[in-house]
Structure formats: structure tokens, C-alpha cells
Amino acid sequence: MMDVVDSDELLRRIQRARDCAVREERSWRSRSEELGATDPQGARDAAVRRMSYEAVLTVLDEILTPGKHTAEG
């Protein structure tokens, strides 16, 4: 059985997930930059991971602050 959580706890969990996504995005950005000259494939892999965390961050930002990211069209 899953625990029922209130809206404040849900908000805290989303904020923690956002904080984690920020740290991971920065880490993979740094790794991509470090590997750029010596390991192009590794740099590309790190860049893909960075972009994945950027996407997660965008979604979590939109949940926490609706309208923060507007759709480009």
C-alpha cells in the first residue's frame, strides 16, 4: 500500500527532485566540457545526459511555477 501524502509533502518532494536535477545537469555539463578534447564520444554521451536532465528540470519548473517556460512555436 502506498502512503497518502498531502500537498505540502508533494511540493517538498518535487522541489527535492528539482534540486537533484539541477545538480545532475551541472555535473554532466562539466563532464561534457572536460571530455570534449580528449574523448569526443564520452563528451557526446555526457551531453545527452545533460540534455535529459535539462528536460526533467524544465518539467519540474513548470509544475512548480506554471508559465515559467513558454512553448516556442
pLDDT of residue 2: 79
CA 39, chain centre distance (Å): 24
Per-10-residue mean pLDDT of the chain, 73 residues long, equals 86 96 97 93 96 96 86 53
- Contacts for 49 with CB less than 8 Å, ≥ 6 apart: 24, 28
pLDDT of residue 73: 43
Distance between CA atoms of 67 and 12, rounded to whole angstroms? 20
Whether the pTM exceeds 0.95: the reply is no
DSSP summary character for residue 61: H
Distance between CA atoms of 64 and 7, rounded to whole angstroms? 12
